[in-house]
Chains A and B, each alone.
Chain A
Amino acid sequence: MNEKPEKLIDKKGLRLDGRKADELRPIKIEVGVLSNADGSAYIEQGKNKILAAVFGPREMHPKHLALPDRMVLRCRYHMAPFSVQERKSPAPSRREVELSKVIRESLEPSVFLEYYPRTGIDVFVEVLQADGGTRCASITAASLAIADAGIPMRDLVVACAAGKVDDTVVLDLMDTEDKAGVADVPVAYMPNLNAVTLLQMDGILTPDEFENAVNLAMEGCKKIYALQKEALKTKYMNVKEEVEE
């Protein structure tokens, strides 16, 4: 095990990886990376490497789970055994069951589920490497995968965490900051609708600090939102070029 560092922010106000308090990790997003899925996306956020894929709308299995008035959205968040320092058993942990639920609930408000009654879509998220903030990066990728599958949406969902490290409210915590920090506030957000679809917190914050953290996280979300849209456009620009050739 690594020892906890004494200070997470140095005298210059820089973090362990040299970022400023309100700075995101480098992000790389790609859309349409899997040929068998109806929609897919890949995200790298710092050392996080996450794949998301969408299948559907398709017939529900088992059939009795289908709903007469809307589509059922299912979500599975899963971590590869090699994605973390100590091997994680591939069987779904309680944490993964909870995260699957909150990720699903963060995506549901964005999809016009009522357009496809009696069907289902499955969102599969595989974390290939984890370094803090995987639930947020997963949501960002999963929402793009849904868009890539051509399913009508109200807005893209984008997620980012903020938190408190030492005495400072910072954006986009990495693993060490998450573990040794004071608090972590993951937020998922639909910027065009000004709607927060995921909000969790652990650690102790005063109400003012909490409000600052949520605002900072939403600012981060807006920056990632631009990258999300860019990634979606890039895919179709490439398709267009291929067609024109």
Chain B
Amino acid sequence: MSSLVTRVRQKQIGQLIDTGKRLDGRGLGDYREIKLEQGLIEKAEGSARVLLGKTEVLVGTKVETGQPFPDTPNEGVQTVNAELVPLASPTFEPGPPDENSIELARIVDRGIRESKAIDVEKLCIEPGKNVFVVFVDVWVLNHDGNLIDASALAAVAALLNTKMPNYEIKDGEVKIKQGYIPLPLKSRPITVTLGKINDKLIVDPWLEEEQIMDARISMAINDEGNICAIQKGGAGYFTPQQIVEATKIAQEKAAEIRKKLDW
């Protein structure tokens, strides 16, 4: 299934991390270079591409009208889907989404939903009948580790770039007017993922680190620096102290990324 990292390499990565260094020259708390590009798919209502080192994720959004959920008749609908496209890695196979792509989609979804990034109340056309549905499709184009952070960032960037149809209600009928308005947003969450190798926390693990790490923890941080979603993954564990340390690092890193971005 997953490709392997040799024992020698594992040892090398581990020993370097013990001395506070990493194989690609980064410090334990350093991100790879982040490149962000918005609006590159004209047919989509919004789009963004994120390069995190060699990891590449493209997100496109579509806005359509549909029915609201019965328990939230006054709110628009947000759905996130992630596709681990087979061209992105020798370990990705075509077929229905596996647990990894479902987990990725649900982490991205939770970050956006729980930070209330999309102002869903403004997406209601007719309560209980007609609302706007925002489809966020995460397309992983190259997998070099930390798909979570790259996807979450690309998703928010694509939402910021999203326009939706202008509409009005005349005689109880919905009329789509000429032109577009920007999608109403309230927050810009940033997700930070940490890996645990040799009992040390590293930020933004790349592919080889990801394959040998014991566990990971991802935290979505909102504009105010509060935590709005968390997901632990991997077959290892964290001590309570490490979790507290991770929240501090995540906040710091989220603020740092936020400052650098021009979106």
Contact = CB atoms under 8 A, between A and B. Distances in A.
A100 B99 contact: yes
Nearest to B1: A65
Contacts, number: 95
Contacts of A109: 235-237
Interface string A148-183: 000000000000000000000000000000000000
A218 interface: yes
A239 interface: no
B32 interface: no
Measured as residues with beta carbon below 8 angstroms from the partner, the interface class of chain B is 35 or more
Contact of A214 (B106, B110, B222, B243): B243
A97 B228 contact: no
Nearest to A1: B71
A204 interface: yes
A122 interface: no
Interface stretch (B20-28, B151-159, B169-177, B244-252): B244-252
B235 A105 contact: yes
Given A98-B99, A101-B103, A204-B115, A195 B237 contact: yes
A108 B215 CA distance: 11
A190 interface: yes
A185 B230 contact: yes
Contact residues of B: prevailing secondary structure: mixed
A200 B228 CA distance: 10
Measured as residues with beta carbon below 8 angstroms from the partner, the interface class of chain A is 20 to 34
Contact of B227 (A104, A194, A198, A204): A204
A207 to B, nearest CB: 5
Interface string B83-116: 0000000000000000100110110001001110
18 contacts: A1-B70, A98-B103, A100-B99, A101-B99, A105-B233, A108-B235, A109-B237, A194-B240, A196-B232, A199-B217, A199-B231, A202-B110, A203-B228, A204-B226, A204-B227, A204-B228, A207-B225, A207-B251
Interface of A: 1, 94-95, 97-98, 100-102, 104-105, 108-109, 185, 190, 193-207, 210-211, 214-215, 218
